[in-house]
């Protein structure tokens, strides 16, 4: 179970993290920082990161997505990312991330949208875990649903045409 459950990263109260002496944040990419496979970084996100950095927090991305996507987004966001083939909830990712941050377990928080990767991994390591609701859940579900519907309709259409 997460320590905090919030709607999105913008709801996060950094003062709570400061009180807990947290200095580094391992953050998930897809559906936490950015919508699934999107690399559009808007002003709101830029400001959020800037504000957190000014408050003294350091960030590192931990993602199970492709290395090329992680690299691209990390560069655009201006924060480092864990590289390699270790996957959450494996401990290796979190250990590597903390090395990049230069923080101890007590000083590290994890933010993510998935219970069985982000949160499970964080809790196995004894890190402070913050669960957010997935950014593009509804859109993704709707997109999948519409695609399936589209392909069924089109199949029928082509079958009719062939007759
Ligand atoms: Mg995610």
Asked if 147 and 109 sit in the same domain, the reply is no
- β-pairing verdict for 128-132 and 108-112: parallel
CA of 113 to the centre of ligand 1 (A): 5
The reply to whether 94 and 152 lie within a common domain is no
Q: Give pTM, 2 decimals.
A: 0.83
Q: In CATH, what number is assigned to the domain containing residue 40? A: 3.40.50.1000
Are residues 159 and 80 located together in one domain of the fold? Answer: no
44 and 9 in a common domain: yes
Structurally, how many domains does the chain consist of?
2
Question: Are residues 91 and 127 located together in one domain of the fold?
Answer: yes
**What's the 115 CA to ligand 1 centre distance in angstroms?**
9
Residues 83 and 99 in one domain: yes
Beta strands in the chain (DSSP E): 4-6, 24-27, 58-61, 108-112, 128-132
**How many percent of the chain have pLDDT more than 90?**
72
Average pLDDT over the chain, rounded to whole?
A: 90
Using the mean position of ligand 1's atoms as its centre, give its distance from the Cα of residue 16 in Å. Answer: 23
For residues 19 and 58, membership in a common domain is answered with yes
Residues 87 and 158 in one domain: no
What is residue 163's predicted lDDT score, i.e. its pLDDT? 64
Question: Ligand 1 centre from 64 Cα, in Å?
Answer: 8
Cα 158 to middle of ligand 1, angstroms = 38
What is the Cα–Cα distance from 42 to 24, expressed in whole angstroms? 23
Q: Are 105 and 143 in a shared domain?
A: no
* Full domain range(s) for residue 80: 4-132
Q: pLDDT tens for residues 31-82?
A: 999 988 888 899 999 999 999 999 999 999 999 999 999 999 999 999 999 9
CA 160 – ligand 1 centroid, Å: 42
Residue 117 sits in the same domain as residue 144: no
Q: Based on C-alpha coordinates, what's the Rg of the chain?
A: 19
């Amino acid at each position: 179970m997460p320590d905090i459950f919030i709607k999105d990263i913008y709801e996060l109260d950094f003062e709570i993290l400061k009180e807990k002496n947290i200095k580094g944040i391992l953050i998930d990419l897809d559906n936490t920082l950015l919508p699934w496979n999107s690399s559009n970084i808007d002003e709101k996100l830029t400001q959020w990161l800037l504000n957190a950095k000014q408050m003294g927090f350091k960030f590192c991305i931990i993602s199970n997505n492709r290395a090329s996507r992680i690299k691209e987004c990390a560069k655009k966001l201006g924060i480092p990312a864990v590289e390699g083939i270790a996957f959450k909830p494996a401990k290796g990712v979190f250990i590597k991330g903390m090395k990049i941050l230069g923080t101890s377990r007590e000083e590290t928080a994890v933010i993510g949208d998935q219970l069985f990767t982000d949160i499970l991994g964080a809790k196995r390591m004894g890190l402070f875990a913050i669960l957010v609701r997935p950014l593009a859940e509804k859109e993704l579900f709707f997109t999948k649903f519409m695609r399936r519907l589209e392909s069924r309709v089109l199949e029928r259409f082509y079958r009719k045409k062939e007759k």
